[in-house]
Amino acid sequence: MENSHTQKIDIEQMKRDMAEGTKGPWIGCNMTHEAGRVMTPEEIGEYVVASVKVGDLSKFLFVSGIHDDGLSSDICHVGNGPKGEANTRRITRIPEMEARILSDAAALAAQSAEISVLRFAQRQARSDAICEFSRNAGMKGSDIVAALPADVKRFRADSAALGFGWIDLPAFLGMPPTGGNTDGR
């Protein structure tokens, strides 16, 4: 098996490995003796030796990693059963998958922020258009505020969350302050 940490993620191989490998959930655990206690190093060694002897020695696989100091360290042994190679490929994909997930999450957050800004601009444009239309139709300030759709009336919360200034609609429309909420809610 080649070093998969230098490969790009192959989606089709990932699907095959998921189908061929051990189904989840997977857990991390200590080896325990049948008596319920943690196994001694000697007992763990006996277990590994017995596992190696059961199958094909050339397929007894370990997963290793490289530390920051450049030294390698065993992460786990996968064994030599019929699912060992698929499980090894799955385990070795984890670091790249984590990096990809974090990168995609950051990109998604940036896109979500951009969408929020665009939605705010769209609501602002709708508000401006409704106000202008209403003024041209001879409506008074309070009637104009009442005519605004609910999502436009929620500018105050949306704009505060996005860090934008709030347009006080009654003041924008030249209305005197009436007390209470000035955004028509």
The pLDDT value recorded for residue 74 is 86
**H-only helix segments in the chain:** 11-20, 41-54, 84-92, 94-136, 141-147, 150-153, 155-162, 169-172
The pLDDT value recorded for residue 173 is 53
The pLDDT value recorded for residue 5 is 43
- What CA–CA distance (Å, rounded) separates 20 from 1? 16
The helix/strand/coil state of 92 is helix
The pLDDT value recorded for residue 15 is 92
The closest alpha carbon to 9, from 110, 83, 103, belongs to: 103
Mean pLDDT of successive 10-residue segments in the chain (185 residues)? 55 91 85 89 90 84 89 86 89 89 90 84 75 73 68 58 52 51 42
Matching residue, tokens 């104009």: 144
Token representation of residue 28: 């991390």
The closest alpha carbon to 117, from 162, 156, 81, belongs to: 162
The pLDDT value recorded for residue 22 is 87
